[in-house]
Amino acid sequence: MAESTGFPDLDALLPRLDRLAELGADALDAEYTELLGRKAGALTLALKALPTLPLEQRRPFGAAVNALKLRFEDGFQRRRAALDEARRAAERAGRDLSMPARRQWEGSLHPVLVVLDEIVDIFRSLGFAVATGPEVETDWYNFGALNFPPDHPAMDLHDTLYVDRPPVEGEPGQGRLLLRTHTSPVQLRTLLASAPPVRVVAPGMVYRSDPFDASHAPAFHQLEGLAVDEGIAFVDLKATLAEFARRFFGPSTRVRFRPSYFPFTEPSAEMDVQCGVCGGSGCSACKHTGWMEILGCGMVHEQVLRNGGLDPERYTGWAFGMGPGRIAMNRYGIPDIRLLFDGDMRFLAQFGR
Amino acid sequence: MNVSRRWLEGFLRRELDPRDVAARLAMLGAPVDAIEPLYAGLEGILVARVTAVAPHPDADRLRVCTVDDGSGTPKQVVCGAPNVVPGGTYPFAPVGSAVPVGKGGGPLRIERAKLRGVMSEGMLCSARELGLGQDANGLWALDTDAPPGSGLDAALGLSDHRLVVDVTPNRPDLLGHKGVARELAASYGVPYRLPALPGVAEAAVPPAVKAGASGAVGSVRVAIEDAGCARFLGAVILGATVGPSPAWLQRRLEAAGVRPISNVVDATNYVMLELNQPMHAYDVTKLRGTTVVARAARAGEKLVTLDGEERALPLGALVIADLDGPIGLAGVMGGAHSEIGADTRDLFLECAWFDPSRVRKARQVVGLPTDASYRFERGVDRWNAPAAMRRCIELVLATAGGTLVDAPVDLHPEPSHPPRIFLRLARLAQVLGVALPLGEVERCLVAIGCTVVAKPDDGRLAVDVPGWRPDLVAEIDLVEEVARLHGYDSLPGDLRGARPAAQADPPAVAAIARVRRGLAGLGLREALTYPLGEPATDEAVRLLNPLSAADAALRERLLPGLARLVERNWAVRTRDVRLFEVGTVFRAGAPGARPVERTHVAAVVTGGRGPAHWSGEPEPYTLWDAKGLAEAIAELAAPGAELVPADEGWTLRLGGEAIGWAGPLAADAPPWAAPLFGVEVALRADGAAPARFRPLPEYPPVERDIALLLGAGQAAGAVVAALTGAGEPLLEEVRVLSDYRGAGLPEGTRSVAFRLVYRAADRTLRDAEVDAAEARLLAVLEAATGLRRRAADAAG
């Protein structure tokens, strides 16, 4: 064996296996190069030189070199894992996990539209579809067809913004253009466009000639509802809207229906829910009545059904309108309607995740 | 409508709790907006008699009074009022009580005190000190039989509540106390009748004399010359004395929010507030030609109204005129010329019915809404006019004296009756969904003043409606009344089955929901911009009657509004702003057609690309973020839209039509603000085509990079388009890797590197195949753009 060159003394290498456990990362890398390096590692060279051995020595010697090589590879791997673990432990020890996270920007939906979406979803589950209509309407759809008597004090409740355009030709009425003061014109549009059973809700923007103040805006959202079919009655109006209130405000919500007046419904009503702030005992939020006015409603007026092409002796129906803006202000405790139009990121961040 | 609790108590002959009244009225359809206590704080004030008055030893203007306060122990009270007399009865605030209105305006606590050396044990009060008027010149001499020691409030019935009732436009009857009392009587199940008036004897007022279109009363000739006045009653009282009306009458008017003026005017106002019948009183001696005519205004006629303003009268408006011209705008306001003054002796009283829409038009043109016009517009009870006239005459005679010279004259050219309506019980049940017993239906209708004749044979009721309910004209009106009086809450309210909608959502509904969710998911916050603003172009939809020049038109785009919201955020030092909105925009369109309404989607971003973090400040948004946002919005709102470079940003085009824009936005930015970018696109309701599965690749890709030297005006996008459009089946993707300009490149050029990804679906590609594909692609690229790959790149 002494005359052969390049063949390490395998026994002499063995102690270095045990000493791997004492080496640091750099020394370990150097030792690896010396023993297992691809170009000049001792064991690498030994394996490369195998073909120079006499045939009968090749097998036993090759087996011995390979076995040793595997033991060293295993040793290096263990030592590296131990060193990694030690390094990670050191890192963990120095790390302050109470430091703030890195987040993504969060988006949100507008609080009024969140409320509107919720309301629409509830009515969808009660068998309603969504309907829409234009925001610039004619006086016929907005007033005349809805049974507003011409030149009547009921008009005083609808401070109307008129459009500076020539009247629309080929439409019922005078075709005078205005910004719709309520979503009720969609009632007519739906009746004229489809046959009963009619069951729609119509969300949208409406306009009044009301200057901005804490509780008024010249433009705000409204949600209309309309159900027309044979055999629909006032008791169905009550039951459906009370069911809506329970789903929206909570299962124990109490409601009451008060008589009211709208030209396009009769009998007309307003629905109140028990004040959520005081629970009905009376507070400033509910003007000490214990009740919050939520929506106006009523049986669709006979004349509106006729204007919609239906025979009121055969078909009956009910309708409602509510202001999701007011309901949102109520729910979230928003004190000033102008906040809804301010686009203040600090405001918008509070809702609608 | 301001309603006095005490006035109602007079009708109902019972004490009322104002909160209970408010709750009942609300459930009858007339909610009470406010309950205001009136003349409060009188609890400790007594009725007392002054038994002796002696001069004050040390002060000329003070008197020392001996007061019987009913306690049995006479009190010594020092008093400065000039009108105190022995035997007089006055309000007395004993020691320990409080006077509502002291010198400072607030309550004054009464204590034993020496006034100029003389002990005073209490205070004799003026009306003003008790919060009951402005007369502070002397003690309030009481006209009462109540014995000394009686509570003042109880003895005089002073303390009251004003209920501010929200009356809907269809219920003129609730604009008088009688109408409100009628509703309450129905609610309590008690009768009601006109209250007796203190000091008003049932004066023998003869029944009005019926006449046609003209007649006379006393020396005054009266006539109706316009059908807009359907009824006109006149009465003449001679020798009246105009002066302040009695305290009780003043209290009533004040409680209803009307300022007392004089006994005659107060009497007319009292009748208006009680019976919803506006009335007017004229000075007979000022009627030129002693004639009163209801007619249409003639061209050029003018009137100085009671408020002293000279007003041009609209041609055709209903006026009351004497021989020389108008003396009142009918149903709106009287004229100053024939106004009742302090020296008026002879009165002409008018009680009339004017056409609601004529009154409404006149007051709109003249711009003079009054208590009277408010009532005439909504409709007064023409059949009750004689009763109102009688009530007013009684009041005037009792408070101003004088003599009624004749029976009132009642011009009623076309006498008529309130309508008779038939109510089918089956219809009632159809609309309400429940059958009410006949007796209950009758009870409800009778309670509001209807006369009901049941016709059991055909299931109908013949219902004669009262004159004070002009809103009751059809069967459905009676259905509502029955439901209302029965109580909406007494009707059942269990869910019954209903057929679901036969309607489908318009496609935009789902598209809008998808876009809103998507943009919120991208970290943007939804905002609402105010849809009105200054007109931006000739295409703006302008308003005829805008609230101000600043909101004279509907918006044509969303971005300007969103930019304003960004500025507001900057104004409160918020730097990072990301907003979006889905809203309607408007264009005028062709004359005679409706304006064009479209749904737009818009977003703005400025500031850091992420929240601030200790590990390093995030980069601010750049143009490339804006482009990315634009692409994302396009994918959500207008799938298939392309971004075409334009100006400083991009135009979004779809099907040859420009449907949006993206790029940097100008705004009023503070120096610390980051660049602002905006995107706006018209929403396409149809949305993206439904997704379709593509098999996942099973074989590895091969990536090859090429670098191209692009000259001025040569776009990387054109390269990508040429490569992807080449129809090369092995090319999977083209990515832009880098864009280098600077050292080593010819002037005006840049080196853009592209990574081409090749893949076959059915095998691992061999180098030779990729080489061939690359060669094909480069040939296509050169043909399309003239570009060849850079030499250095070819070698590497």
The pLDDT of residue A230? 96
Contact check, Cβ <8 Å, A267/B522: no
Contact check, Cβ <8 Å, A127/B523: no
Worst-scoring range by mean pLDDT, A156-160, B84-88, B404-408, B538-542? A156-160
Contact check, Cβ <8 Å, B592/A316: no
Is B573 near chain A, with CB under 8 Å? no
Question: Which own/partner pairs from A2-9 qualify as long-range (CB within 8 Å, at least 24 positions apart)?
Answer: A4/A52, A4/A53, A6/A45, A6/A46, A6/A49, A7/A46, A7/A49, A7/A53, A7/A61, A8/A42, A8/A43, A8/A45, A8/A46
Is B747 near chain A, with CB under 8 Å? no
Answer yes or no: is pLDDT of B742 > 80.
yes
Residue given tokens 């170009």 in the structure block: A39
Measured between beta carbons, which residues in chain A are less than 8 angstroms from residue B532? 207, 218-219
Residue given tokens 């070199």 in the structure block: A65
Distance CA B568, CA B546 (A): 24
Mind telling me how many Å the CA of A76 is from chain B's nearest CA?
34
- DSSP-assigned states of every residue in B551-611: G-EE-S-SHHHHHHHHHHHHHTT---EEEEEEEEEEE--STTSPPEEEEEEEEEEESBSS-
Share of chain B above pLDDT 90, in %: 79
Answer yes or no: is pLDDT of B630 > 70.
yes
**Beta pairing, strands B409-411 & B209-211:** parallel
Q: Name the residue of chain B whose CA is nearest to A284's CA.
A: B34
Answer yes or no: is pLDDT of B795 > 60.
no
The pLDDT of residue B687? 72
Q: How does DSSP classify residue B489?
A: G
- DSSP-assigned states of every residue in B294-329: EEEPPTT-EEEBTTS-EEEPPTT-EEEE-SSSEEEE
B493 closest CB neighbour out of A190, A238, A352: A238
Q: Name the residue of chain A whose CA is nearest to B499's CA.
A: A197
Share of chain B above pLDDT 70, in %: 98
Is B170 near chain A, with CB under 8 Å? yes
Mean pLDDT, residues B521-525 taken together: 96
Distance CA B256, CA B274 (A): 10
Answer yes or no: is pLDDT of B434 > 90.
yes
Measured between beta carbons, which residues in chain A are less than 8 angstroms from residue B492? 235, 238-239
Answer yes or no: is pLDDT of B80 > 90.
no
**Mean predicted lDDT score pLDDT of chain B:** 93
Share of chain A above pLDDT 90, in %: 61
Q: How many CB atoms lie within 10 A of CB B268?
A: 26
- Contact (Cβ atoms closer than 8 angstroms) between residue B527 and residue B562: yes
Residue type, B485: L
Residues whose CB falls within 8 Å of the CB of residue A232, separated by 6 or more in sequence, listed in order: A315, A316, A317, A318, B498
pLDDT digits 0-9 by tens, A49-84 = 888 888 888 888 888 888 888 988 999 999 999 999
Mind telling me how many Å the CA of B756 is from chain A's nearest CA?
32
The pLDDT of residue B796? 36
The pLDDT of residue B794? 43
Distance CA B646, CA B659 (A): 13
Answer yes or no: is pLDDT of B713 > 90.
no
DSSP percent split of chain B into helix, strand, coil, nearest 5? 30, 30, 45
Q: How many CB atoms lie within 10 A of CB A2?
A: 4
DSSP percent split of chain A into helix, strand, coil, nearest 5? 45, 20, 35
Contact check, Cβ <8 Å, A107/B171: no
Answer yes or no: is pLDDT of B488 > 80.
yes
- Contact (Cβ atoms closer than 8 angstroms) between residue B79 and residue B65: yes
Q: How many CB atoms lie within 10 A of CB B690?
A: 5
B502 closest CB neighbour out of A102, A194, A243: A194
* Widest CA span in chain B: 134
Residues in B 490-549 with any Cβ partner in A closer than 8 A? 491-496, 498-506, 508-509, 513, 516-517, 519-532, 541-547
Residue type, B754: F
Name the pLDDT band for A353 (thresholds 50, 70, 90). low
- Contact (Cβ atoms closer than 8 angstroms) between residue B395 and residue B351: no
Is B431 near chain A, with CB under 8 Å? yes
Mean pLDDT, residues A156-170 taken together: 89
Distance CA B703, CA B694 (A): 21
The pLDDT of residue A1? 40
Mean pLDDT, residues A241-257 taken together: 95
- Contact (Cβ atoms closer than 8 angstroms) between residue B64 and residue B54: yes
Answer yes or no: is pLDDT of A2 > 50.
no
A205 closest CB neighbour out of B378, B584, B595: B584
Measured between beta carbons, which residues in chain B are less than 8 angstroms from residue A258? 26-27, 29, 31, 488
pLDDT digits 0-9 by tens, B286-297 = 999 989 999 999
Phi/psi for B407 (5° steps) reads: -65, 145
Distance CA A311, CA B419 (A): 24
The pTM (predicted TM-score) of the whole model is 0.86
The pLDDT of residue B275? 97
B543 closest CB neighbour out of A135, A161, A258: A161
The pLDDT of residue B744? 87
Residues whose CB falls within 8 Å of the CB of residue A218, separated by 6 or more in sequence, listed in order: A161, A207, A208, A209, A210, A211, A212, B530, B532, B547, B551
Distance CA B86, CA B59 (A): 19
Contact check, Cβ <8 Å, B526/A131: no
Mind telling me how many Å the CA of A140 is from chain B's nearest CA?
13
Mean pLDDT, residues A292-302 taken together: 96
B591 closest CB neighbour out of A166, A227, A232: A166
Is B187 near chain A, with CB under 8 Å? no
Answer yes or no: is pLDDT of B598 > 80.
yes
The pLDDT of residue A45? 84
Q: Which residue, among B164, B526, B565, B568, would best test binding to A if mutated, counting the most A CBs under 10 Å from its CB?
A: B526
Measured between beta carbons, which residues in chain A are less than 8 angstroms from residue B23? 289
Mind telling me how many Å the CA of B709 is from chain A's nearest CA?
38
Angle CA B688–B690–B695, to nearest 5: 120
- DSSP-assigned states of every residue in B715-753: -HHHHHHHHHTT--TTEEEEEEEEEE-STTS-TT-EEEE
Angle CA A289–A290–A295, to nearest 5: 90
